[in-house]
Chains A and B, each alone.
Chain A
């Protein structure tokens, strides 16, 4: 196994607010990691530091053996609000990265076509983002990152704004793409079930100050059955970690 990501005692503060403290994380190439925790636990901050959008206040972040100093095409990001370019069609959005990197025209067209097919949007290739549903937009956002040869895909609650049915389909599609491409995925979510369903490891975080509290390996075979006893056991134990019972439960 080759190490893909190394986070060394990373801290980040915004003024007096301690968003992240003493974060340590190693991720192997091809691993699917979920970061989970309540709001304010620093999961998005950690992801944005990995993307290079934020600089850590202290500590180091390495991706593929190189220190992260800013955003780059080796780390593709999928945002909850899609972040598609509204003036470009689906095809052009997917071709944006290769074009920015100076890939020849013919090769861009070929790449775009391949990834449009991969996410099943061939019939919508020449539509603009405002003509697409939320699920379709997120497919474009994923394809755009894959078309750019990203080695690490960072996903910030990518399915949080979608309805339950679309979310389940996209989860399946993401797992299928991941299994085929063996990308390294860091996936931020606040849904325990989503984390267990998707990931090899669930990294739980807590707030005040934002920190990593546990790192759980999920050894269930895929496709995972959300109704199985093993799945429920994991759900319960993670739930306990994230919401520890307080000593005296006051009646509501």
Chain B
């Protein structure tokens, strides 16, 4: 009984405590200001219902939630897969091959601090207005976390494991698939998780490129129309989508990395 109560407090009450306080502060700060720039919580909630099922405002945002969400999710996952497809082999090569390291590492390290937002104008010139540009920017955001963690993962294999594999008869060519790759999986997985998280972070920037749908595009439209309640709903949706997406990846990791004390 005591234990269940403690669990309830820790897992349900504690996490919602700050959001409730925030909501309360928001409500108290906006309740007497009918024409304020920041909408009241209730208006945001009503707008969320209109976004989801329509029938309240009947404007260009009504019942568009699923369309925007799917558009963004498609870009996030597509760009993430593209980034992973490039960053994983590159990271493995940079981590294990001296030649690849001296060839690629310096350039990638110099490009790394350039923020995704700075790439926006150039990306729009090269890829044009629209989804291709968005795709590129989101992929760029996901690329570096995956790359860096993959390099780190394949590099930090315990030397002892190579000795153990060698004395058991593993040929040098088989070291990569049988020792390096499995040993690097936790690092690679961390990179994938960070990369996917980052894709959700940069989706708004990605959808500043003039795409008609997507949560980022919705936020940008709403901003120009001063529909701040739609902006806040967009923020909530991105947060929730990113959270759910991260939970799914974590669950996958827990299954795949059952052997790792940090993940299992």
Contact = CB atoms under 8 A, between A and B. Distances in A.
Contacts of B167: 51-53, 71-73, 75-77, 145
A85 interface: yes
B182 A71 contact: no
A135 to B, nearest CB: 18
B213 to A, nearest CB: 42
B261 to A, nearest CB: 5
A55 interface: no
B260 interface: yes
B170 interface: yes
Interface residues on B, range: 20 to 34
Interface string B159-172: 01101111111110
B174 A100 contact: yes
B164 A79 contact: yes
B258 interface: yes
Contacts of B168: 73, 76, 96-97, 100, 144-145, 148
Contact of B259 (A79, A88, A144): A88
B182 A101 contact: no
A192 B182 CA distance: 40
Interface in B174-226: 174, 178-179, 182-183, 185
A52 B168 CA distance: 12
Contacts of B160: 79, 81, 83
Nearest to A79: B160
A87 B170 contact: no
- SS of A interface (majority): loop
A88 B182 CA distance: 9
Contacts of A128: 258-259, 264
B169 A87 contact: no
A92 B163 CA distance: 17
Interface string A38-73: 000000000000011100000000000000001111
A86 B259 contact: yes
B163 A87 contact: no
A130 interface: yes
A130 B169 contact: no
Contact of B163 (A72, A77, A84): A77
Interface string B229-264: 000000000000000000000000000001111001
Given A72-B169, A87-B185, A100-B174, A77 B164 contact: yes
A84 B261 CA distance: 14
A86 B165 CA distance: 13
Given A83-B160, A85-B182, A130 B166 contact: no
Interface of B: 160-161, 163-171, 174, 178-179, 182-183, 185, 258-261, 264
14 contacts: A52-B166, A52-B167, A72-B169, A79-B164, A85-B165, A86-B260, A87-B183, A87-B260, A89-B259, A100-B170, A100-B178, A101-B169, A128-B258, A148-B169
Given A77-B167, A128-B259, A130-B264, 6 more contacts: A51-B167, A52-B167, A79-B163, A100-B169, A100-B171, A148-B168
8 closest cross-chain pairs (CB), A and B? A73-B169, A97-B168, A83-B164, A71-B166, A128-B259, A100-B170, A87-B182, A71-B167
